[in-house]
Structure formats: structure tokens, C-alpha cells
Amino acid sequence: MLPILSLIVLIPLVFAALTLLTKTKEQARLMALVATVSVLILTLYMYLNFDSTTAAHQFEELYQWVPSLGITYHVGVDGIAMPLILLNAIVLPFLVLFTWNDERKSPNKFYALILGTEAAVIGVFTALDFFLFYVFWELTLIPLFFMVSIWGGPNKHHASIKFFIYTHVASLVMLLGIFGLYFAAWDMTGTPTLDIPTLLAQFQLIESALLKDMIFLALLFGFIVKIPSFPFHSWQPDAYTEAPTAGSVLFVMLKIGGYGLFKIMLPMLPFTGSPNMMITIMAVLGSVSIIYGAFLALSQKDLKRMVAYSSVSHMGYVLLGAAGLVSLSVSGAMFQQFSHGLIMSVMFMSCGIINNKTGTRIMNDLGGLAQKMPKLAVIMVLTFMASLGLPGLSGFIAEVSVLAGSFGNLPAYVIIALVAIVITGAYHLWALQRTMFGVFDKKLGTITDINRYQTLSMGVIAILILYFGLNPSAVLDMMLTNSEQIASMMAVMGV
Amino acid sequence: MAENLMLFAPELTLVLTGLFVLMVGLFLPTGAKKVLGYLASIGILVALSLTVSSLGTEGMAFNDTLSVDALSQFFKIVFLVVALIVSIASIKYTEGNSHTEEFYALSIFATIGMMFVASANDIMVLFVAFELASLATYALAGFEKKNQKSLEAALKYFIIGSLSAAMLLFGISFIYGLTGTTSIPGIAANITALSTSPMGIVAVVLMLAGFGFKIALVPFHMWAPDTYQGAPSVVSALLAAGSKKMGIVAAFKIFIVALIALQAEWQIAFAILAVVTMTYGNVVALKQTSVKRMLAYSSLAQAGYISMAFVVLTPLALGGGILYALSHGFMKAGAFIVTAAVAYMVLSDNKDSEDTDHIDNFKGLGVRMPITALSMTIFVFALAGIPLTAGYMSKFVLFSSTIQSGFAWLAVIAILNSAISLYYYAKIVKYMYFLPTDLEKVSEPLPYVAALLIAVAGVFAIGFWPEPFIHWAMEAAMVLIPGGM
């Protein structure tokens, strides 16, 4: 059988190297398009052949790598990883198209970094060995760091360094957690292994409750900084805002924190020394992120910064849903990651276009853009509605599942989150009103609508938001299979 | 006897090469001395292949004063690889210098000294070999006779090195006086005489100070930044990547084999030295503007990491430390060769320029010397421990063994240190790729490129295919603690 998972990591990686060697923008963007489209085709093939009735890993590949340390090359996907790979594979070709006619310095490096990020992020989703997982995890840092520090906004150096140090320190703490798990299991069984499924199964055999809690918290810290969640979110608005549009979209594709939560944290949770404390931590951080992010978004003057804070708020649902521990809330949280990726990428593209055309993102200086850019207005209104949770669009499904699912176990936190829904509605509508509608300010000069590449890429993603809103089971089925497995384990352990 | 000699075929090859280079150099005009570099490199390459082909052989020679085992073989390979990289790069550095033969002879003699230290099974042989390497490197550090900085570097290195040799010898005299033998296993057998006497502590302290100077552990490090900065870059590469490892293998032999019974005394000292050294090295490196000085401080930090092996003392930790020594050899030798290439570039812009190692000279290096800049990026990322490089693999083994043995606090400090170090390493990358320059592209001299490519190959070989290297390092570690503690 075709080693399809290796291919979807290897293709972007090899093309990234080839793209670096290109001389012109035309060559570079073509390379990037070829690579991302091939990944999309392979991923669609995998998606169509994916069995969503089983929670087991599919398309597995396993080779020995460093036997003396138990390191293997082990990849595979399940219902948690598959939708996220699909998300990346869908958005990336359209991201390349979106930037098709942009003028920028060093286009070869630019497209190479996009491909490098794609390879690393997909690599994290496919890795079933902690060594491989950590390698890809760290690898996501490097292209994004350069993305911000080369093509970023005025504060790019501050933002890129902050992002790098913040998340690198978090990764190192996560690495300590991995080491703890690795050695505790090694001591018990006498054979070293870094295989993720094996180690997750062996976690429950560790005797010391304190050690188990330490391991869990170290890993959790690594993941929630990446998500990011309150109080470790402060790198995110800076990085998202200062990054170029493509960089912001890539950041949104970086769903590895939430992925780790479902893939690694939840299977470990019932076996920790104090599962109730862990649930409380996740629920508190999730609900505080939801409401705090919403208030911060409400107070922003800069459109892109507002979108960035809204992302903090939306990612809070992921944590809250995970802490809900029933299959409805967990699958809702997984769906939130997927849907949020689609919605945010269009929102950041809109911010980028507005900034390019008008030279500002300060909402009070804008207004009436819908008259000049009707196509953008349609797409932007649709995605803003999806983001605030309008029924029929993908955001609604996710948030309702999370809130309804979590209510049984965590009613107090859900009620807190419900308050935020009002604020969420408010800042989205207010932002639309201040930018797209109202009186057009003549000082902004002549403004043209989005070009056809931009229309195509944003339009297709917007249609997908609608599609997944009407037909969520296209990805929700596979998520449900895995969430049910997680939930039944919780029920067995009485958590 | 002949069999014994065959065990030391690599060393003998080097001795012959060194003498031959020295002799031939006398009869060559300055312009033709370039051939000496090729001769020396070939000699080192032959010695290296002899060592590699004899991997696995074991034996004792000369009344058991020298031993060939997995440990000595491993470190010999480290020294020979570093010597090879340095000697290839020096083909360019010594171009047109009338003292080329001395340069090569000295660096070969230094390598021989290091190799005998790795083989020494007797504390006096160890000391003599140690001094052979040291004396040769003192002279090499001052190779640029007209350059004040080089002379200052050599003088500092010489004075402090002699002082540390004196301490070492003083320590040895206590050990000999109390145990009545100079054989390393003999000392271990008679250790009760030492461990029951208060003089035992004095001996440990003196030895610790003596090796501390060579390895450049804080607070015995004062000479290192000045010497690494002032000495010619190729010599700094030999010092940081080779000579420092000699200190480590000697300390392994003395402390872990001979003085293992005094473990309680020196283990805690190494714990403190390791923590202080890595933290001090990384923090001070942050604000350096001279790249060579930054590398010197980073070298301190790396020695701090390796010293963790003395604290943990499990086969895995020692294997990790030994693997780290090899990785560091590639990374650090490579990084110093880059500074040599940059110095060449700066001098070809303006032959009177000073401070060729200032970080401003790295501006736009990605455009001016693409291969050099890319190699430097690989070396600094490897030093910082970015995955899929030698640095990451070694850190992985070393740090994880630390956690395994219950020294989680030490691993946490080391990991935080790695995080700090990334900042100054990334700064070099930033200068090379993000800061513009209006100076033109320079053609990169072939010898430097060849040396850099060897080092890059080593960094990636260990990073991608660590299994055989870990295996060898573990075998070497087993020589130190045969039972596996």
C-alpha cells in the first residue's frame, strides 16, 4: 500500500526545499500550489477511504529507528487527527491562491515557509511516536517564527521573539512530561518505548499518583500554551496581529495544542491521581478564556487584534468541551477546532485585504467598505456570522454541542460561557458595522474589490463553512467514534 | 611487542606524519608549503581509518600503562575527526605562511597527546600525554606572532595551563604517596588508603581544579573566553572541540575509574560546577558581541552539560556525555571554522581590519557566503538542541538519563539553560539572514567549505541515525563502569 501519511509530510517538505531554489515569484507560487494540491488530493483519497466506525489508527506505518532508546517511525491517523489533516490540506492550496498576486520580498522563502509549516503541522497530527511528535512539534516553530520576523508588521521582532520564547519554553516543559512518562514506563516494563499508544496504555500502571499528576500537568502546560488559553495567551494576539495574512492563517491552522488535548490528555485523565482537579483546571481555564477573550475582543480598536482575541475566546470552547467529558461535548470541541480553522482563515484574509486596500485596520477610521467591496462584504458577513454562532453555519454546531454536552457535568462553567455569547454577538456585529457599513470615508481613497484569486479562495472556504454547518456529519462522525471511546473510558473509571 | 605496537598504529602514523611534515617543510619554499596541509590531512585521515577499522579490538601495552578499549577508541575518533576538520580548514588559513610546517606539526603532536590521554592507564602517562597536548596548543594559540591578541591569548593560556598542570601534579603526588601506585586500576584497588586519609579530599580538590581548568568549568574558566577569542580561529576549534574533550576523558578516567570510592566527595562538587558553569556560560553569552567569545561561553555551557554525566553516573548518562563529546566536536569545530572563514572574508575586504570576529561582520552572510552561513545555522541550531541534529540527540540521551536517575531538578535547570541559549544562537542567524549588507558576495575558499561539510555531515549523521553512535558511546561508558552501577 502507498505510504500515504509519509507522503503528505514528505511532499511539502521536499517542495519547500525546491521552492527555496526558485528565482522568481511565478516559479515559487507554482511549486507551492503543486505541493499543496498534491497533499489535498492524497488527503481526500485518505478521507474517502477512512473508516469512521472504528476508533483505531488507520493508514499506519511502523519502522524501527533507534531501537536502543525505543524510538520508532510510527505514523497513523484516527478520528481526532483526520479532520485536522483535512483542514490543513483544504486551506493551504487556497492560501497559496490567496497570495497569488501579492508583491513581497523573497517569495521563494515565503512559499517555502508555508510548505514547511504544512509539513510540520501534518507531521504532528500523524506522529504516533513521542520522539517524532516532539520533532514535528518543534519544527512548527521555526517557519512561523521566520514568517513573522521577515514579513510581519511594525512590531514583528517583539512579536516573533515573544512567540518563540513563550512556546519554546512550553514545549520544553512538555518534553519534561514526555521524559517522565517514558522513564516511569521504562522502569516498570524494562523496555524503553516512545510509542504514544503504548505509553498511554502504560500510564495507568504508574504507581505514584504524584508522578502521574506531574506528568499530566507538564504535558497539559505544553498544550494549553499552544491552544492558547488564559492565562498563557498573551503571545497569541501579538503574533497573530503582527504576522502577515498568510502567517496568521498558518497560525490558525496550528491546531496542535487542542489535538494534544484530545489525543494525549483525555486518555490519561481518568488515571491521574486527582482527575477532578484536572477537570476543574481545564474547565476554569476554558470558561475564563471564553469570557475574557470576548471582553478583550470587544475593547479592541484594531480589527485584526479583535479577531485574534476572538480566537482566544473560541479556543476556550475547546478546553471547556474537553473538560465536559461526554461524547457530545468532546466531539463538539473537536468540531470547534475544525470549524474555527475554516472561519478564522477567512477572517484573517479579510483583515489582510482591508489593511492592504485602505492602509489601516483601525475600525473607527473605516466604514462603508461594503459599497466599494461588495464581494468581500458578502464573504466577510457570512464568516462573521459563522464566528458568532449563527445556526446553519459550522460555528453553531460546535458551540451548541460543547455547551449542551458540558452542561450535565459542569453547569456553572457553562452558564459563565453563556454570558459570553451575548458579548460575542456584540463585538462581531459592532465590528461589521464599523468597517463594512455606515458612511464611506472619502479619505480612504479609491478602493477596488478583491481580485479573482482572493474571491475564489475566500469564497470556497466560506462555502465549506456553510457546507459543514449543514452537513456536520461529514467530519463529526469520525470525531464521535473517538469521543465515545474516550467518554466510555471515563464512565468505566467513574470520573 | 610488535603486537603491542600495532595497537597504536594510528598514533604511530601521526608521529611519522608530524615528523615528515616538519622535515619536508624545511626544504620547501613558502609558496609550495600548501602541500604540507594536504600531507597532514592525509596522515590524519589514515590514522582515522586505522582507528575506525580497529574498532572493537582491546588490549594493554607497555606494562599495562596504555590500554586500547572502547572508551579510548571513541575519544580517539573524536580527536582525529576534530584534527581532520581543523587541518583541512587550515590549508587556507596557513596559505602563504612560512611557518606552515610548524603549524601542522604542532597540531598533529597535540592530537597525539590527546590520543595518548584517551589510552592512558597510568596516571603518570596520562600527565605526560596531557602536557604534550598542552604544550603544543600553547604554541599554536600564539601562532600569529605579530598579533597582540593572539599573543595575549597564548600567554594567558600558558600561565593558567601551567598552574593547572602544577595542581594536577600535586594531586597526583598525594594519590601516589597514599596508594603507592600510579596505575589507574591500582589506585582503585588501594583506594582505602586514600579514602581514610584526610589527604584524600585534598587530592580530589587539586585534581578537580586541575581538570576544571582544562575543561573550563566555572570558576576555573577565566582563560577560556580570552584564549578562544584571541587565538586563530582554527586553533580555537582545536582547543574547544579537541583539547577540552581531552580534559573530559582524563577526568572520566581519574574520577570514575580511580577515585570512584570517593564518589560522595566529588559528585556533589560536579553537580555544583555543572549547574554554575552552564548557567554562567549561557547568561554571559547572551550579551557578547564577538562571535568567538560567544562561542567560548557557549562552550562553557556545553562543558557544564557534559559534567552532568559525573553527577548521574549511570551507563546511560556516561554514554550520553560521551556522545555529547563527539557531537560537540563536530558542532563547535564547525562553528569556529565558520568564524575563520568570516575572518578571511573580512580581511579580504580590508586587510587592516580588526575585530574580525565582531557579530556585525556576520550581517548578510547568507548572501555573501551562502554555504558558510547555512553551515553556521546548522551548527548553532544543533548547539541549541534543535531536533534531528547531533546536539538534540546527545541532549536527549544525557538529559533523559538525568531524569531517569532521579535528578529531575538538574535536568530542569539544563533544559531551561537550553532555552536561554537559543536566544543568542538565534541572534547569529538573525544577523546572517535578516540584516542587510551592501558588501558583495565572496567566493568561499574550498578548504573551509570542505571542512564545514564534514562537520555538517557529522551533525546530521548523529541526528538522523543515532543508533550506532549511541551503541558505541554506551560501550565506551561500560569501560568506565563495567558493572553498570
Instruction: Name the residue among A66, A164, A186 with its Cβ closest to that of B470.
Output: A66
Non-local (6+) Cβ contacts of B351 within 8 A are: none
- Binned at pLDDT 50, 70 and 90, residue A300 comes out as very high
Instruction: Name the residue among B403, B416, B426 with its Cβ closest to that of A180.
Output: B403
Pairing of strands A71-77, B59-61: unpaired
Chain A with chain B: Cβ pairs closer than 8 A: 53
CB contact under 8 A, A69 and B470: yes
Q: Is the pLDDT of residue B185 over 60?
A: yes
pLDDT of residue B485: 46
pLDDT of residue B483: 61
Q: Where do the domains of chain A lie?
A: 1-273, 274-495
Interval A173-187 mean pLDDT: 89
Instruction: Name the residue among B419, B434, B471 with its Cβ closest to that of A68.
Output: B471
| pLDDT tens string A107-146 | 888 999 999 999 999 999 999 999 999 999 988 988 999 8
Q: Which range has the top average pLDDT, B193-197, B207-211, B436-440?
A: B207-211
The one-letter amino acid at A268: M
> What span, in angstroms and rounded, lies between the C-alpha atoms of B57 and B72?
11
CB contact under 8 A, B403 and A179: yes
| pLDDT tens string B16-40 | 999 999 999 999 998 888 899 999 9
Q: Is the pLDDT of residue B4 over 80?
A: no
Q: Give the burial class of A421: count Cβ atoms within 10 A of its Cβ; 0-12 exposed, 13-18 middle, 19 or more buried.
A: middle
What's the pTM? Answer: 0.83
- Quick one: how many helices (H) and strands (E) in chain A? 22, 2
% chain A with pLDDT above 90: 60
DSSP letter for A68, please: G
Interval B261-281 mean pLDDT: 90
B396, B417, B421, B474: best to mutate for the A interface, most A CBs within 10 A: B396
| pLDDT tens string B78-134 | 999 999 999 999 999 998 888 899 999 999 999 999 999 999 999 999 999 999 999
> What span, in angstroms and rounded, lies between the C-alpha atoms of A369 and A168?
40
> What span, in angstroms and rounded, lies between the C-alpha atoms of A336 and B192?
69
Q: Is the pLDDT of residue A26 over 80?
A: yes
- Binned at pLDDT 50, 70 and 90, residue B1 comes out as low
- Residue A475 has, within 13 A of its CA and on its CB side, a CA count of 28
Interval A62-90 mean pLDDT: 91
| pLDDT tens string A153-177 | 888 888 888 898 888 889 989 988 9
CB contact under 8 A, A183 and B403: yes
Check if the interface score ipTM surpasses 0.85.
Answer: no
CB contact under 8 A, B422 and A168: yes
Instruction: Name the residue among A135, A183, A186 with its Cβ closest to that of B387.
Output: A135
Torsion angles phi and psi, residue A187, rounded to 5: -60, -40
CA A445 to chain centre: 36
Nearest CA in chain B to A185: B404
Within 10 angstroms of residue B436's Cβ, the number of other Cβ atoms is 7
In a domain, B485, yes or no: no
pLDDT of residue B404: 82
Lowest-confidence pick of A71-75, A123-127, B438-442, B481-485 = B481-485
| pLDDT tens string A216-254 | 999 999 999 998 898 899 899 999 999 999 999 999 999
B422, B427, B465: best to mutate for the A interface, most A CBs within 10 A: B422
% chain B with pLDDT above 90: 64
Greater confidence (B438 vs A399) lies with A399
End-to-end CA distance of chain B: 35
Instruction: Name the residue among A66, A150, A180 with its Cβ closest to that of B466.
Output: A66
| pLDDT tens string A358-383 | 888 888 888 888 888 889 999 999 99
The reply to whether A183 touches chain B by the CB within 8 Å rule is yes
Q: Which of residues 119-158 of A touch B (CB under 8 A)?
A: 134-135, 138-139, 142, 149-150
pLDDT of residue B388: 85
Greater confidence (A2 vs B182) lies with B182
Please answer whether residues A277 and A287 qualify as being in contact, where contact means their C-beta atoms are separated by less than 8 angstroms.
no
Q: Which residues pair with A74 in a beta bridge?
A: A62
Instruction: Name the residue among B388, B415, B466 with its Cβ closest to that of A176.
Output: B415
The total of structural domains in chain B comes to 1
pLDDT of residue A490: 85
Please answer whether residues A357 and A447 qualify as being in contact, where contact means their C-beta atoms are separated by less than 8 angstroms.
yes
Q: How far is residue A290 from each of residues A257, A293, A417, B158, measured CA to CA in Å?
A: 16, 6, 6, 64
| Mean model confidence pLDDT for chain A | 91
Interval B203-211 mean pLDDT: 90
Domain span holding position B217 = 2-480
In a domain, B280, yes or no: yes
Helix axes A81-98, A452-470, angle to 10 degrees: 160
In a domain, B468, yes or no: yes
CB contact under 8 A, B387 and A165: no
Query: Which chain B residues contact residue A66 at CB under 8 A?
Result: 466-467, 470
The reply to whether A17 touches chain B by the CB within 8 Å rule is no
> What span, in angstroms and rounded, lies between the C-alpha atoms of B112 and B134?
11
